[in-house]
Structure 1
Amino acid sequence: MWHAMFDLDLTLAEKVIRAVSIYLFLVVALRLAGKRELSQLNTLDFVVLLAVANAVQNGLIGADNSVTGAVVGATVLFLVDAALAFVVFRSRRAQKVVEGTPTLLIRDGQVVEEALRREELSQDDLLAALQSAGAQTVEDVRTAWLEPSGKVVVVPNLHRQNAHHYDDLKARLDHLTELVEGLAPSGRS
């Protein structure tokens, strides 16, 4: 009983080839899935992730249920991931191929509609990302782009932001002036 726990049903070479193949397939599939999916894992995406994990399990380890097979498969995945991370770190070209490039979403306060369609982002998704970065409207943003990681980077429109600050400060000053004038004795001005 216990002796079969560590016996490989497949050769070590086949284990390695299976693990590398599945890893590369998943890298390509996630790259093709798009940037948005990486940042917004909803219930449907989570179900797909679980189903994919289950679907690739047999491809990864074959009919082998041994502890040794699982350890070999996991070790190969970690090694391939580390090797690919090293290559991506060293090569700008490899980084663009594996991770992708940023996508410009807003240019000079104007939404780049084609980019939203290509990335399958709705106006509501974009506005939520802008608001989480501190902007209230698209006009408050000079530039925004979607990173390959799925994060939206926002560069505020400082002129518009300064105008908002000026209006806010002026309103507060006017309010304070009214309060101070209300404190003055009625016979004196």
Structure 2
Amino acid sequence: MTLFPYSDIIFRSIAVYFFMTIALRIFGKKELSQLNTADIILILLISNSVQNAMVGPDTSLWGGLVAALVLFVINFTIKKLTKKYKIFGELFLDKPEVLIHNGKLDFKALSKLDISNEELKEAMREHGVEHFTEVKLCMLEIDGTISIITEDKKNLKQSHYKRKHNHKNFRK
């Protein structure tokens, strides 16, 4: 018997939290921008598979509550640390990526982020933009949306496009 009966659950929950955080960082923010049926099924299956990894043989109410509490505390702590210390923000938070700047496409960023020409054009059409040259700034935001800022003669307008699916590599 351990000193604290739930220390094993606490350790397991922390390990699963950090594993899931790293996995989501590796697979990228664009997958989270809009969930489809397969994504929801994946999330449900992952949650079911890691449940046992967190609580181990303790399937009691208290074991589940301790695991949930640990996850909430870790999440709260990480959010506070990312706001207070830049290093934690760099570790846990994605950064927005510039896709188009003053009408010029960043092919390296588009390729790295796996955003296709068709997807970029779709985002532009959704907001009434015909040509890349009309775009002052286009960004892939940290939440997976594509923001497009254009400057017309009278005013500046900004719009967001929610990514619907993952396309193949960007082709010039």
The yes-or-no answer on 1:65 pairing with 2:59 is yes
Letter in 2 for 1:50: L
How far 1:109 moved relative to its partner?
A: 1.0
Cα distance 1:58–1:109, how it changes in 2: closer, same or farther (>3 A)? same
The yes-or-no answer on 1:89 pairing with 2:83 is yes
Structure 2 distance, partners of 1:138, 1:43, is 32
Which residue of the partner structure matches residue 101 of structure 2? Answer: 107
How far 1:117 moved relative to its partner?
A: 1.6
Cα distance 1:117–1:44, how it changes in 2: closer, same or farther (>3 A)? farther
Residues 36, 120 of structure 1: 8 Å contact kept: no
Letter in 2 for 1:162: K
Structure 1 distance, partners of 2:137, 2:59, is 52
* Match of residue 70, structure 2, among 69, 73, 76: 76
How far 1:96 moved relative to its partner?
A: 1.9
Which residue of the partner structure matches residue 25 of structure 2? Answer: 31
* Match of residue 45, structure 2, among 51, 62, 70: 51
Greater percentage in helix: 1
Residues 102, 145 of structure 1: 8 Å contact kept: yes
**Larger of the two Rg values belongs to structure:** 1
How far 1:134 moved relative to its partner?
A: 4.7
Matched residue SS, 2:59: coil
Structure 2 distance, partners of 1:11, 1:134, is 60
Structure 2 distance, partners of 1:132, 1:83, is 38
Residues 36, 121 of structure 1: 8 Å contact kept: no
Alignment coverage as a number of residue pairs: 151
- Gap runs ≥5 in structure 1: 1-9, 164-189
- Gap runs ≥5 in structure 2: 155-172
Cα distance 1:134–1:84, how it changes in 2: closer, same or farther (>3 A)? farther
> Taking structure 2 as the reference length, what is the TM-score of the superposition?
0.79
How far 1:77 moved relative to its partner?
A: 0.3
Which deviations, in whole Å up to 9, do the C-alpha atoms of 1:72-121 show, x marking residues without a partner? 00000000000000001112232122112221111221221221121112
Which residue of the partner structure matches residue 175 of structure 1? Answer: none
Which residue of the partner structure matches residue 146 of structure 1? Answer: 140
